[in-house]
A and B are shown apart, each in its own frame.
Chain A
Amino acid sequence: MKQLIIPALLALLIVGCSSTPNAPEQGGAPVEGRGAGVATVTAGGANGSNLPAILTDPKSILSKRSVYFDYDKYDVKSEYTELVTAHAKFLAGNRQFKMLVQGNTDDRGSREYNLALGQKRADAIKKMLTMLGAREEQVESVSLGEEKPKNEGANEAAWAQNRRGDMLYNGEF
């Protein structure tokens, strides 16, 4: 009995217990057929930017790109009307330019729900831009949710900096 157990009896036990049929002389069930190998992929690359000075000169209002939101709020506050209007006029006068509006949130709660909240902020900025002269196809509103905080802190000052929409021109994204 003792000598028989390996491997013949064990092979019988496997046949009884496993859905994988095995040749009796093989003995055990192979365990490597499950795709254990993982190939590594490296994603993405950086883009350069080559924008006109009016969009980057610190003295130009168009160099300012961020709109900040109140907690749990998704409407563009009146203090940002001048900024958003200036960008809308630039887009209206420069139809070859495209803009990506990225909405952001603080990091409290679900990542995917925050992604949806950030989308509401980006959509609000896009809506104002298109009402003021930008064309629908010039502006794409997307969300980064809580994934790209400007300030990594866990306090109200940090959260306020992260409740934000950023306006990027082509070449910057």
Chain B
Amino acid sequence: MPNCSNGCLSPMLHTSLNLRRLGLIAFSALALLQTPAHAELTIEITGAGANRIPLAIADFAGDPGSSRAVTAIVRGDLERSGLFKLIDPSGIAMTEATSPAYGDWKNRGADALAAGSVGPSGDGRQEARFRLYDINKQSALAGAAFVASTPMLRIAGHRIADAIYEKLIGEPGIFSTRIAYVVKSGANRYELHIADADGQNAQAALKSREPIISPTWSPDGTRLAYVSFENKKPVIYVHSLASGQRIVVANFKGSNSAPAWSPDGRKLAVVLSKEGGSQIFTVNADGSGVQRLTTSTGINTEPFYSPDGQSIYFTSDRGGSPQIYRTSVGGGDAQRVTFEGSYNVSPRVSPDGKTLAFISRREGGFRLAAMDIASRQVQILTDSSKDESPSFAPNSRMILIATEIGGRGVLSAVSTDGRIKQRLSISAGDVREPAWGPFTK
């Protein structure tokens, strides 16, 4: 969603927020509008933020099935973010067209209220509408309507949650974004799945008998680059999601791996062993124009572009142990970035350029770490033992990782400050290699 600071009714909510104790919320799968084709992910919150905004979401009015589903999606999205405390709205029937009884909502403890309805849009589709109110100021904060066919109504629910989130938190919501991940079920069954950010609506983009690793979204969200072993060696593909069309971007002699998109979507940084060792190259997204970037002996891998496109972070063992380095896209000397510990890998820079997420081996466990790039301060965000493959949400607030619980691969989303943790698991198979997609229009 674009910034609404001029066109909308009032700036973000800065009303008095009660300090609430950190709560433990268990959350199960949402009611679905669509029959799932695959086993769905379920999301469970294992920690929540300390300052949660008390928010009431009245039951949406309209056709009972559709309105109940949209209400559940809006509530589920906002609750799982860990930033809101949902206030019980029972007993009050209203829509976006009803003037709120501000005093009643204040008595219930709400600082903000959303209400809405779902109805026919006139062209055979459905329209989901909402308004958001500031209870203390007794004024409307925002409102919008979204049109969707009935099976896609859940996306309208995510759009409403995004709009509420943006108005109250002051940064864009990520509920209508998508995630990609790999499911391994059985010895030789690998599937690359695309799902909504809440884990629902999963669809397989690729099914293979050989491993698939390192999926990464193009900046426009239409394509994924990944490494597939379907030819008994690692080869890099770019896969257009809507058509299923695939382009081989790098299939040189030796290994081809670790693709990373440049922020303008024109190039990929890749790792090739064709000239000996594992070296970082850049290549155009159609596979042309291969140029070598690193020249040191030993391993250079896991390239990742800074958001300004000017630097590439990567992992190298040039100093004796795997550490993270940064170099200019034009080449030249690399600066070492990580110094604590003997194993720091998988660098990913947040879209706002402020945080470097990586995996650090600490006390024998592989843990998600976050470095404040300006101060170089490092914080270990988990106490798990097998974290892998971090991926930032497009609003920079959450980091999606693969980890292991009870010997099974699961996905976990951790807030950049480590306070909010969500676990995603799938009923069958190992889930791994997550990649959070960009904002969608």
Instruction: Tell me if A131 counts as interface (CB < 8 A to partner B).
Output: no
Instruction: Tell me if B231 counts as interface (CB < 8 A to partner A).
Output: yes
**In the complex, A143 Cα to B254 Cα: how many Å?**
8
B225 to chain A, nearest CB (A): 13
**In the complex, A173 Cα to B232 Cα: how many Å?**
6
Given A41-B206, A100-B233, A32 and B241 contact (CB-CB distance below 8 Å): no
* Residue of A20, A43, A100, A141 touching B207 (CB-CB under 8 A): A43
Judging by beta carbons under 8 Å apart, are B147 and A27 in contact?
yes
**In the complex, A142 Cα to B273 Cα: how many Å?**
8
Instruction: Tell me if A83 counts as interface (CB < 8 A to partner B).
Output: no
Judging by beta carbons under 8 Å apart, are B143 and A10 in contact?
yes
Instruction: Tell me if B440 counts as interface (CB < 8 A to partner A).
Output: yes
Chain A neighbourhood of B299, CB < 8 A: 113, 116-117, 120
Instruction: Tell me if B2 counts as interface (CB < 8 A to partner A).
Output: yes
Q: Which of A11-19, A49-57, A85-93 contacts B (4 or more CB under 8 A)?
A: A11-19
Judging by beta carbons under 8 Å apart, are B147 and A28 in contact?
yes
B196 to chain A, nearest CB (A): 9
Chain B neighbourhood of A40, CB < 8 A: 203-207, 244
Contacts between chains A and B (CB distance < 8 A), count = 232
**In the complex, A142 Cα to B229 Cα: how many Å?**
11
Nearest opposing residue in chain A for B239, CB measure: A41
A18 to chain B, nearest CB (A): 7
Chain A neighbourhood of B239, CB < 8 A: 41
Nearest opposing residue in chain B for A33, CB measure: B441
Chain A neighbourhood of B243, CB < 8 A: 39
* Residue of B201, B205, B213 touching A39 (CB-CB under 8 A): B205
Instruction: Tell me if A160 counts as interface (CB < 8 A to partner B).
Output: no
Judging by beta carbons under 8 Å apart, are A34 and B301 in contact?
no
Instruction: Tell me if A102 counts as interface (CB < 8 A to partner B).
Output: yes
Judging by beta carbons under 8 Å apart, are A43 and B242 in contact?
no
Size of the B side of the interface (Cβ < 8 Å), in residues, is 85
Chain B neighbourhood of A145, CB < 8 A: 213, 234
* Residue of A26, A34, A109, A142 touching B147 (CB-CB under 8 A): A26
B50 to chain A, nearest CB (A): 30
Nearest opposing residue in chain A for B220, CB measure: A35
Instruction: Tell me if B405 counts as interface (CB < 8 A to partner A).
Output: no
Instruction: Tell me if B198 counts as interface (CB < 8 A to partner A).
Output: no
> In chain A between 54 and 90, which residues have their CB closer than 8 angstroms to a CB of chain B?
none
Given A7-B145, A10-B144, A112 and B258 contact (CB-CB distance below 8 Å): yes
> In chain B between 192 and 240, which residues have their CB closer than 8 angstroms to a CB of chain A?
194, 201, 203-211, 213-214, 221-222, 228-234, 239
Which secondary structure dominates chain A's binding surface?
mixed
A46 to chain B, nearest CB (A): 8
* Residue of A7, A35, A109 touching B222 (CB-CB under 8 A): A35
Judging by beta carbons under 8 Å apart, are A154 and B407 in contact?
yes
Nearest opposing residue in chain A for B209, CB measure: A44
Size of the A side of the interface (Cβ < 8 Å), in residues, is 62
Instruction: Tell me if B148 counts as interface (CB < 8 A to partner A).
Output: yes
Given A2-B97, A27-B121, A116 and B4 contact (CB-CB distance below 8 Å): no
B129 to chain A, nearest CB (A): 5
Nearest opposing residue in chain A for B359, CB measure: A110
Instruction: Tell me if B345 counts as interface (CB < 8 A to partner A).
Output: yes
Judging by beta carbons under 8 Å apart, are B142 and A13 in contact?
yes
Judging by beta carbons under 8 Å apart, are A37 and B207 in contact?
no
Instruction: Tell me if B366 counts as interface (CB < 8 A to partner A).
Output: yes
Chain B neighbourhood of A10, CB < 8 A: 96, 129, 143-145
Chain B neighbourhood of A26, CB < 8 A: 121, 123, 147
**In the complex, A159 Cα to B301 Cα: how many Å?**
23
Instruction: Tell me if B246 counts as interface (CB < 8 A to partner A).
Output: yes
* Residue of A17, A39, A42, A123 touching B163 (CB-CB under 8 A): A17
A-B contact pairs, 28 of them (CB 8 A): A10-B96, A10-B143, A13-B145, A14-B145, A16-B4, A17-B144, A29-B147, A30-B147, A30-B148, A40-B203, A40-B244, A44-B208, A108-B366, A109-B361, A111-B433, A112-B213, A113-B301, A113-B315, A115-B257, A115-B278, A115-B301, A119-B255, A119-B273, A123-B277, A140-B233, A142-B232, A142-B255, A148-B229
Could you list which residues of chain B lie within 8 angstroms of chain A, going by C-beta atoms?
1-2, 4, 7-8, 96-99, 121-123, 127-129, 142-149, 152, 155-156, 159, 163, 176, 194, 201, 203-211, 213-214, 221-222, 228-234, 239, 241-244, 246, 253-255, 257-258, 271, 273, 276-278, 299-302, 315, 322, 343, 345-346, 359, 361, 366, 388-389, 407, 433, 440-441
Could you list which residues of chain A lie within 8 angstroms of chain B, going by C-beta atoms?
2-3, 5-7, 9-11, 13-20, 25-44, 46, 100, 102, 108-113, 115-117, 119-120, 123, 140-145, 147-148, 154, 168, 173
Known: A31-B156, A115-B255, A116-B278. 19 other contacts (CB 8 A): A7-B127, A10-B144, A14-B144, A16-B8, A17-B2, A25-B122, A29-B159, A30-B147, A30-B148, A31-B152, A32-B152, A38-B204, A41-B206, A109-B359, A109-B366, A113-B301, A119-B277, A143-B234, A143-B255
